[in-house]
Amino acid sequence: MLALRSGLTRALAARPLAPKVCSSFATGPRQYDGTFYEFRTYYLKPSKMSEFLENIKKNIHLRTAHSELIGFWSVEFGGRVNKVFHIWKYDNFAHRTEVRKALAKNKEWQEQFLIPNLPLIDKQEWEISYLVPWCKIEKPPKEGVYELVSFQMKPGGPALWGDAFQRAVNSHVNLNYAKLVGVFHTEYGVLNRVHVLWWHESPDSRAAGRHQSHEDPRVVAAVRESANHLVSQQNMLLIPTSFSPLK
C-alpha cells in the first residue's frame, strides 16, 4: 500500500499542471476599455414636447460643457409617444461622478436647464451600456433618421449568443441593407439586452431595405440562427433634434 501511494504521488507530481481557468464565469469578450455610454429616456407630459425641446436647445451647451453628447432624438414610432432618447459618453465611472458633482454645483445649469425642465418630465429611465468589442460608433454620411432596435436575449451572455448575433448584424451591414451606427450591450439595467443603432436616409428607405433583406437567403439564415437566442425585440424610429451631434 505504501509503495502504491508513493507511486501515485510521483505520478501526480510529474503530471503537468493544467492551466488555471479564470474565465469560467465569463459571459463574453472582456470589456477592457472603461468608456461607456449612458442611455437616457425621458417620457414627457402630453403637450410639453415642444416646450421641453426648446428649453434643451437653448441650454444644451451648459450640459455638453461637462461630457460628450452622442445624440439626442425624439421618438416617432415604437412604444409610448411624447418621448425623447439621448446618449452620453463617459471615459469611466469616475468621470461620470465628477460630471455629476460639477453639475450639482453649477447654478446656471440648475436654474436654466434643470429646474425649468423637471416639471415637464413624467418619467425617466437610463441604462449603462458598453460598445461591443467588434464595433465602434460610425457617423452617418448625411442627415437622416435613426432606428434603435433593442433585443432581449436569453440568459447566458455573449458567450452563448454573441457570435450568432454578430453574424446577423453583419449580414445587414455587408449587404448594404442598412448603415450601422453602433451596437451596445447593457451593463446596468435589464441584462442580456443589446441595442443596435441604425441610420437610414428616410423611413421609406428603411422600409425598402427591410423588405429586401427579408427576401435575401443570406440574411434570413443569419437572423434565423440568432433568433434561437432571442426573447423579445422592440424597434423605435428616432428623429434627430437640431442640436443632436448625430443628425
Task: Report pTM.
Answer: 0.84
**Contact present, 204 and 163 (Cβ < 8 Å):** no
Min mean pLDDT across 8-12, 157-161, 180-184, 233-237 is at: 8-12
Residue 58 has pLDDT above 80, yes or no: yes
Confirm whether 245 is domain-assigned.
no
Q: State the residue range of the domain holding 199.
A: 36-240
Mean pLDDT across the stretch 130-142? 92
Distance CA 239, CA 142 (A): 14
Residue 6 has pLDDT above 50, yes or no: no
Between 106 and 156, where is the model more confident? 106
Question: Euclidean distance between the first and final Cα of the chain, in Å?
Answer: 79
Confirm whether 106 is domain-assigned.
yes
Confirm whether 188 is domain-assigned.
yes
**Contact present, 229 and 153 (Cβ < 8 Å):** yes
Confirm whether 163 is domain-assigned.
yes
Instruction: Give pLDDT, residue 64.
Output: 95
pLDDT band at 31 (very low <50, low <70, confident <90, very high): low
Confirm whether 46 is domain-assigned.
yes
Instruction: Give pLDDT, residue 207.
Output: 92
* Residue in 99, 37, 90 with CA at minimum distance from that of residue 63: 99
Confirm whether 4 is domain-assigned.
no
Confirm whether 3 is domain-assigned.
no
Instruction: Give pLDDT, residue 79.
Output: 79
Residue 215 has pLDDT above 50, yes or no: yes
Total domains in the chain come to 1
* Residue in 84, 93, 80, 75 with CA at minimum distance from that of residue 37: 93
Confirm whether 25 is domain-assigned.
no
Mean pLDDT across the stretch 58-86? 94
For 217-230, the pLDDT digits (tens) are 998 998 988 988 99
Going through 3-111 in order, the beta strands assigned E by DSSP cover 36-44, 68-77, 83-90
Residue 137 has pLDDT above 90, yes or no: yes
The CATH number for 117's domain is 3.30.70.100
